[in-house]
A = this chain, B = another copy of it.
Amino acid sequence: MSAHTDFSQRCVEYNKLLSDFKQLLRDNGLKFTIQREVILEMLYSSDEHLTPESLHHLIQEKHPDLNTGIATVYRTLSLLEDSDMVTSLSFGAQGKKYELGAKDHHDHIICTQCGEISEFVDDEIETRQKKIAEELGFLIQEHSMQIYGICQVCQSKMKK
């Protein structure tokens, strides 16, 4: 039962996302294309934080018929980022990773061994951040926090 509920939930969320996207396009006189839909869908269905390249690979794998170009991926990601539908993450390594912005706010904890990115939220930190910006005279817009460490998987690998 709960599996069914989760599934419905996911669908509702995705449909909401999709209609937001369509609205966004309409508002700006842009067109809704299969490529754009697939990119949004992949971003939604992937649990990973994707690089433009990994997103492109994923699309070519799942929709080889579309023969989507990497340029389209970059263009769509820029579009989505400008509209705050996705957020780009640029930690350490070269290149950015992208995630859907529609999710709740959260911060990231990154494994320095395998590059895996996990998410977390901490209300206390959120509150402090607001105060700090205020004290420094900044008009706060966004904030992000990263913790770097070694994840459990890599820790156990190292013990072997």
Contacts and interface: CB of A to CB of B under 8 A. Distances in A.
Interface of A: 88, 90-92, 109, 111-112, 118, 120, 122, 124-125, 128-129, 132-133, 136-152, 155
A132 B152 CA distance: 14
B146 A133 contact: no
15 contacts: A109-B133, A109-B136, A109-B138, A120-B132, A120-B136, A124-B128, A137-B151, A138-B151, A138-B152, A140-B147, A141-B149, A142-B148, A143-B147, A143-B148, A144-B145
B145 A150 contact: no
A141 to B, nearest CB: 5
A51 to B, nearest CB: 14
Contacts of A149: 133, 138-142
A144 B121 CA distance: 15
B122 A150 contact: no
Given A133-B147, A142-B147, 12 more contacts: A90-B90, A90-B92, A109-B133, A109-B136, A137-B151, A138-B149, A138-B150, A142-B148, A143-B145, A144-B146, A144-B148, A145-B146
A157 to B, nearest CB: 12
Which 9 pairs, one residue from A and one from B, show the smallest C-beta to C-beta distance?
Answer: A138-B149, A142-B148, A145-B145, A137-B152, A143-B147, A139-B150, A140-B149, A141-B149, A90-B90
A148 B141 contact: yes
B133 A138 contact: no
A129 B125 contact: yes
